[in-house]
Structure 1
Amino acid sequence: MDIGGAPLAAFKLMVCLALPGWVLLSRLSSVDRAARLVWTLTASAALYTTLALAMAWTGFWYPRQVAAAVVLAAVGFIVLKPGPYLPGTFVRGAARGGPALTATGGRGLQRRSRIRAVLPWLTLAVAAPLWVFGLATTGHGRLGDFGLLSEFPLAWYIAVGLVVGTCVYAVVARKTFPTLLMSVSVSSLVVVLYSTAGLLAEVPRFPWTYKHIAVTNFITATGNVDPSIDIYNRWPGFFALSAYLGEVMGYRNALDYAAWAETGFALVDAVLVLAIVRTISNRARIYWTATIVFTLANWVNQNYYAPQSYSYSLYLAMCLIALTFLRGVPFKWMAGFEMRIRRSRIVQRVKQRHPVIMPSIWERRGTPRQLLACVAILIIQAVIVVSHQLTPYLAVLGLFPLFMSGYFRPRWMAPALLAIPLAYFIPNLAYVKGKYGLFSGFNLFANTGYRPPRTDPLVVGGWVLTGQSLAHLAVVLTLATGVLAVAGFVRRLLHGHVRTTLVVAWLAFAPALGLLAQSYGGEARFRVFLFALPWLSIGVAWLFWSGPVRTGRTVIGASAGLAAMAMLFTVVHFQPEADYRVPRDDVVASQWLDANTKAGDIVFDTKYFFPLLVGSNYPHYLKWGSVSSLVDYFREADGNISVEGLRAYADHLRGAENNYVIITDEQKLQAVEKKRFEAEYLPELEGMLENGVGVENVFSNDTVRIYKFKSAG
């Protein structure tokens, strides 16, 4: 039923993502709840991606009807074949109740215990309205070099500090918080950090998001994909799924819901990391600390509405399945290497000083569900393969050696994981090679190069700060996370936990091998850190809590480390917001262009991040000469700007019947601030267009004007 509305849309999305996966996992009664939650979402998403791709590839596009059939089938299965749908206790091995109170001092202990139990809830209750008030009073003017950092009021910083402080205290306290309180605290941390910028923006952030919105809208409008258009139509998994779910929810325009992807993916990834760590450690301090570190160190802004965000979550789900069901004893040659590490002198000395209290729980036997787990991993890999170009190979880099060495079983899974992306890539080889190239050069330093933008300085308390210097803090946060993780791996090895440490350390290191061959358009360094981060977070948690007892030194170290990460993340995440923010007027203008331009028309802009590709007609702009830069015309004219000169330049390019010129206030400001071209050219050209013969102002709002003129022919 095509019934719209935001509340009903959210309800329909929850039903669609919950029921099919719930049925598929109904017989896994002993699965950890965190894993069950994300596996439910993963199973449903994989099922819908398969159905959406089948419809998009065949042109048989009936998403609402198919979704209704899937949901009704799931409900029928639940009603007709009831099973153990609800899992057991959330915290494995958690003892009910607590130590008995003695008669002496019992009341005082009870009073202090009640205060300790209520205080974190009160802190979060105070932080919530402060955060909302901070958002409401944040400045809405044009952002400068320091982004949102200079716009946030004190209330917002206090709210973030309270949430961070609650999470830090929860993991360093003498007795860790109950699971419900920890879940609420960490979820609050994710929401506060990852939804703030999106809530303050009128439209989805990141100019490059709008191409993804356009592809989704194209599939929604046409009901199929066209591989001849671009590479997105050749890897359409995410877009087909998004178009499918969007139409099921009642939104035929991805612009209406794309902004929520950043918070949604951040929450899902945090739960995935939590579930992963719980499979290799039953110490609450370790798995909650790792989740917090992952949240505070994930500065790369890769959670937005994009195929890589979806594929990354699927990659983590695939690793979780392997860690839960496919663990095995390594083969002799690898077991011998482990034994040499255990028998080394330094490890023996440390073990004599600090005997291992908590043995490793890596050693798992094969389970009857092993074959089903293998099938699930291969299906997830196939969904990743049709959704993103890079993620399948990063997954292979990490998992292939672990299957071949026996840490995961069976061994045939290694070539199977590699064969799926290769089989899909071979038919697209000629296209990718001709359009982008296969390798960007075996130069590690060139593929990881990074130059922060130049900005004007700001003097604060005698210190000279610039946006460039703040951008370097991302490097500091990255290196700090890596150094702490390596120290944690070493400490873990010294305590005798060789097997789990080798596996996690390899998964953290393996993504860096991708830098040997490909820069991925300058983004490879971000992807490498992103794929290494879950495993680096485990290393950081091991550094703090691998000892047999909680000590004052570890409490101070963990508190200082997490607090420093929170401050660095806040600066790095919110400082470059001026480069990520897209004006709403620009989006409205681009929607008008998408609806009114025809194939073959020419559109002139300055190549500033104007979201030109936003609607279902975006293929019009991908042909040669359909979008041209005003900057190129200014250089060609060499200062002799005129309407007739621009018309002649347009006719020289293509001789299009209709030509459109986009003039925005943001372009003018960019011309001055970024020195992209002579600042006076745009106002001079717009003045000529306003009074030019044969020129018509066809669109105008507060900050954007669009002019149209015919070809001279």
Structure 2
Amino acid sequence: MALPLQDEVSAPVARANAWWKIRYLELGLAACGLATAVLILLDIGGVPFAQFKLVVCLAVPGWAAMSRLRPSFDPAARVVWTVAVSTVVYTVVAVTMVWTRFWQPRPAAAVLVLAASAVIVIFPADANSGSRHRAVAERENGARPRPNGLLPWLTLGVAAVMWGVGLASTGRGRLDDFGLLTKFPVMWYVAVGLVVGLCVWGVAAPKMFSALFMSVSLTSLVVMLYASATLLAAVPRYPWTYKHIAVTNFITANGSVDPSIDIYNRWPGFFSLSAFLGEVMGYRNALDYAAWAETAFALVDAVLVLAIARTISNRARVYWTAAIVFTVSDWVNQNYYAPQALSYSLYLSMCLLALTFLRGVPVKWMVSFEGRLRSLRIVKRLKNRPLATLVQKWEQAPSALQGAAVAGLILFQAVIVVSHQLTPYIAVFALSPLFMLGYLKPKWLGPVLLLEAIAYLIPNVDFIRGKYGLFSGFNIFANTGYKPPDTNTIAQGAWVFSGTTLARGAVVLTLLTGVLALAGFVRRLLGGEVRTTVAVAWLAFAPALALLAQSYGGEARFRVYLFALPWLAIGVGWLFWSGPVRSRRMVLGASATLVVMAMLFTVVNFQPEAQNRVSQDDVAASQWLDAHVGPNDTVFDTKHFFPLLIGPNYPHYVRWGGVTSLLDYLTASNGDITVAGLQKYANHLRGAKNNYIIISDDLERWAVESNITEARLLPKLEKVLASGSDAQEVFSNGSVRIYKVAGSGAKSS
């Protein structure tokens, strides 16, 4: 009887020790919050201070809320909720400020951080919070994950070093149709291969590796795949990023929004938050930090998928496989600096919140339907143990925190509604039916989510209808089959491995993920696990309903795959690991699948870099133009991804006649190029005060390689401008020259 007595005595001591450990960490976090508030108020900047302030600002308010909640949380869920709660709070404050024109981000952030730090100090966290989830049985055949030996950690360290050396030695020459694929050295590929191998080894080994090692391995994989291209570029890579940078800089400069300018000022959530945090960090130009959005959002989304999978299944192989599949299948590139990236992460946070706290019992007819599906079950027992004991069932969630979860879901949807046009409706398509059918509770919350989206759309509906069209028709085939113009014409003679052929890897990767997930859903149903399978399968299918109403500028099909991917990734995990035993066939199948997916993703992600990359010289020229072009001026450019919208004066360009095509002028000139002819053409268009003509070596090369006949006239045009007395070269940085020609508006003024 001595042992039980010893356990009874040691348990309170262990709890007390755990309380003090958490308390020390919380006091340290509160101290960091105090230091951050001082740095913010004194506006002390610099890269280290900026990063420190951002991390603390995202941690302290969220932790003050999360650590006060007594029921146990999964550690992964706690991490993402901490960041998500802080993000939502800052977004609400920032949007309120821009709408009321009371722009004081630094004092507001300092007050929020100080208040949250005070809560942390005054109200200690529960030492038992999260203990049950930390004790979740990551079992495979009844065994706990084994502690890692030295070899896996050494391999991971070697891979990290090789990756860094490989990046440093990556070719810096001009990119061709193969993008970065031919620029990366062998060492870079070996490093990525080692990390992929470690992730595969971790989920397929006879006994799972520890959660710590799997976390570090997955993080390394995300960083290698999503940060490599960013590190090799001097400025944000994607041309379409710069319009978002421009809107953020406009808000930073003016402290308000102007709905008459564009759709971004009508949905200012993301831009207001970014401008708010930029001021807090000490950056007044979003160009300084926008490039890191891709890596940051990729990490957050991977953790969200991991947390969601852990909520649905307690089998470690399933949720780690799901997180890996999501990482190596997300080729849509939604992580760049954009409202979509923020809204997507918040949508996944909503799903995690609902699946954790709002699970319910379906309505009677749905229970009957589940019974019919369950009758298909072909595996009922294994060694006298019900199969259901090996997987977590869809059980009704405790009601203690339902009110807080409901309020959180409404608030998250509100932030998404003011940040992005499409995501709120996908959230409605996905979650509302689950509320109505009883899988989630309360039932009235589904219609509330829809009302939030509609209520914000109503005052903006005329603008949407006039600019874009509210619906593109209930033709799912037309909305799915949209094909954007093919601009991939560089190096077309590259045989079967041309960019067009390589780009088909995205189709293969999409189909592979979808087919394997479908097989996983079927296997779960045949195994008798109906409720979780039905819910996850619906969440994977629901985004396709968006195709009934909108093509979303031709991108709807990509968004469908993006929003379905987390649930498809869980289905892939179920395919390989939902069986009662770990079989050799499933180990080989899972290993081969993950390796093939990683290879396809590498090709799809890095091959189009020539089309994605924006040069630093183009960015510098755009910044000069933003500082010098007035509202009555006109800019001539080739309109091929030149980052013209970049600064707070971008509204000058969105007015009619602010930007026109240089190639259109060359076509109209019929080869007779003179400064007087250019002036006459410009005056006919608008009668601008000044006309700015952009001559970029990169854009000229693009025009030539794209077989645009007018491209042959670009050298002649520049020669005329350089020698003409009525034209003046006002900017040059080697690869970009800008000429100014007076317009008819100059004489009248």
TM-score of the pair, normalised by structure 1: 0.95
| Counterpart position of 1:136 | 168
Distance 2:518 2:153 in 1: 35
Q: Deviations over 1:221-268 (max 9, x none)?
A: 000111111100000000000000000000000000000000000000
- Match of 1:47? 89
Q: Aligned residue for 1:106?
A: none
Residue 26 of structure 1: CA displacement?
2.0
Partner of 2:622: 590
Q: Which residue of 2 aligns with 1:204?
A: 236
**Following superposition of structure 1 onto structure 2, how do residues 551-630 of structure 1 map, counting pairs within 5 Å?**
551-630=583-662
Structure 2 distance, partners of 1:20, 1:465, is 50
Matched, 1:224 2:256: yes
Give the Cα–Cα distance (whole angstroms) in 2 for the partners of residues 613 and 681 of structure 1.
26
Aligned-partner Cα distance in 2 for 1:280–1:669? 52
Number of the residue aligned with 1:11: 52
Give the corresponding residue for 2:313. 281
Equivalent of 1:321 in 353, 356, 359: 353
Report which stretch shifted further, 640-649 or 278-287. 640-649
Give the length in aligned residue pairs. Answer: 693
The letter of the residue matching 1:93 is V
1:439 to 446, 471, 476: 471
CA contact (8 A) 2:695 2:738 kept: yes
Shift of 1:579: 0.9
Instruction: Give the aligned residue type for 1:63.
Output: P
Residue of structure 1 in register with 2:111 after alignment: 69
Asked if 1:93 corresponds to 2:136, the answer is yes
| Residue pair 1:91, 1:179 contacting (<8 A) in 2 also | no
Whether the aligned pair in 2 keeps the contact of 1:311 and 1:391 (CA below 8 Å) is yes
For the pair 1:379 / 2:411, whether they are aligned, the reply is yes
Does the alignment pair 1:235 with 2:267? yes
CA deviation after TM superposition for structure 1 residue 445, in Å: 2.7
Query: What's 1:58 paired with?
Result: 100
Q: Which of 690, 713, 717 pairs up with 1:658?
A: 690
Per-residue CA deviation, residues 480-501 of structure 1 (Å, 9 max, x unaligned), is: 0000000000000000000000
Q: Superposition RMSD on alpha carbons, in Å?
A: 1.7
Alignment equivalent of 1:456, drawn from 468, 483, 491: 491
Residue identity in the other structure for 2:108 = V
Unpaired runs of 5+ residues, structure 1, are 101-112
Counterpart residue type for residue 145 of structure 1: D
Describe the shift of the 1:353–1:186 C-alpha distance in structure 2 as closer, same or farther (beyond 3 A): same
Deviation at 1:79, TM superposition (A): 1.7
Query: Is residue 559 of structure 2 the alignment partner of residue 527 of structure 1?
Result: yes
Residues 27 and 651 of structure 1: CA distance in aligned 2, closer, same or farther (over 3 Å):
same
Kindly provide the amino acid, as one letter, of the partner of residue 249 in structure 2.
N
Identity of aligned residues (%): 64
Aligned to 2:291: 259
Structure 1 residue 391 corresponds to structure 2 residue 433: no
Contact 2:68 2:124 in 1 (8 A): no
* 1:163 is the counterpart of 2:225: no
CA distance in 2, matches of 1:95, 1:235: 43
Deviates more, 1:437-446 or 1:367-376: 437-446
1:324 to 1:95, Cα distance in 2 relative to 1, 3 A: closer
**Distance in structure 2 (CA, Å) of the matches to 1:572 and 1:99:** 39
Distance (whole Å) between structure 2 residues aligned to residue 270 and residue 298 of structure 1: 10
Residues 392-432 of structure 1: per-residue CA shift (max 9 Å, x gap): 00010100110000000000001000000100000000010
Question: What amino acid is the match of 2:181?
Answer: L
Deviation at 1:455, TM superposition (A): 4.7
Q: What amino acid is aligned across from residue 48 of structure 1 in structure 2?
A: Y
CA distance in 1, matches of 2:375, 2:199: 38
Name the counterpart of 2:363: 331
Q: Which amino acid aligns with 2:236?
A: P
After TM superposition, the structure 1 stretch with the greater mean CA deviation from structure 2, 73-82 or 553-562, is 73-82
Contact 1:213/1:254 (<8 A) preserved: yes
Matching residue of 1:176? 208
8 Å CA contact 2:297, 2:345 repeated in 1: yes
Q: Say whether residues 1:121 and 2:156 are aligned partners.
A: no
Q: Find 1:538's aligned residue among 564, 567, 570.
A: 570
Does the 8 A contact of 1:650 with 1:659 survive in 2? yes
* Contact 2:45-2:282 within 8 A present in 1 as well: yes
Cα deviation for residue 91 of structure 1 reads 3.8
The reply to whether residue 704 of structure 1 matches residue 736 of structure 2 is: yes
Partner Cα separation in structure 1 for residue 193 and residue 675 of structure 2: 56
Question: Match of 1:566, as an amino acid?
Answer: A
Equivalent runs, 1:408-487 vs 2, <5 Å: 408-449=440-481, 450=483, 453-457=488-492, 464-487=496-519
- What does the per-residue CA deviation read over 1:190-211, in whole Å, with 9 as the maximum and x for residues that have no partner? 0000000100000001000000
Distance change >3 Å, CA 95–CA 136, structure 1 → 2: closer
- Counterpart secondary structure, 1:604: strand
- The CA distance in 1 between the partners of 2:188 and 2:342, in whole Å, is 30
How big is the shift at 1:676? 3.2
Question: Distance in 2 between the 1:491 and 1:677 partners?
Answer: 57
Post-superposition offset of 1:635: 1.8
Q: Tell me, what secondary structure is at the counterpart of 2:274?
A: helix
Q: 1:203 to 1:682 in 2, by over 3 A?
A: same
* Aligned-partner Cα distance in 2 for 1:567–1:161: 9
Contact 1:92 1:282 survives alignment (8 Å)? no
Cα displacement (A) at 1:361: 2.2
Residue 523 (structure 2) aligns with: 491
| Residue in structure 2 matched with residue 341 of structure 1 by the alignment | 373
Change (3 A) 1:646 1:640: same
Q: Map Cα deviations across residues 7-45 of structure 1 (whole Å, 9 max, x no partner).
A: 000110111111111111122241111101000111000
The 1:624–1:486 alpha-carbon spacing in structure 2 relative to 1, beyond 3 Å, is same
User: Is the 2:665–2:678 Cα contact (8 Å) retained in structure 1?
Assistant: yes
Q: Quote the Cα distance in structure 2 between the aligned partners of 1:458 and 1:634.
A: 28
Give 1:93 shift.
Answer: 2.5
Per-residue deviation, 1:444: 2.2
SS in 2 for 1:76: helix
User: What are the superposed Cα offsets for residues 579-631 of structure 1, whole Å, 9 maximum, x if unpaired?
Assistant: 11000000000000001111110000011100000000000101000100011
- Work out the CA distance in 2 between the residues paired with 1:56 and 1:537: 39
C-alpha distance 237-588 of structure 1, shift in aligned 2 (>3 A): same
Does the 8 Å CA contact 1:207/1:610 hold for their aligned counterparts?
yes
- State how far apart, in whole Å, the 1-side matches of 2:475 and 2:647 are: 38
1:553 counterpart letter in structure 2: R
Match for 2:681 among 649, 664, 680? 649
Cα distance in 2 for partners of 1:445, 1:643 equals 49
Once the 2 structures are TM-superposed, how far is the Cα of residue 364 of structure 1 from its aligned partner? 2.0
Q: 2: CA distance between counterparts of 1:90 and 1:669?
A: 57
State which drifts further: 82-91 or 436-445. Answer: 82-91
Question: 1:368 deviation in Å?
Answer: 1.4
How far apart are 1:685 and its partner, in Å? Answer: 0.3
Number of the residue aligned with 1:105:
none
Paired AA for residue 476 in structure 1: V
The aligned amino acid for 2:65 is L
Per-residue Cα deviation, 1:277-310 (whole angstroms, up to 9, x for no partner): 0111111000000000000000111100000000
User: Match for 1:49: what amino acid?
Assistant: T
Partner-residue secondary structure (3-state), 1:37: helix
* TM-score normalised by L of structure 2: 0.90
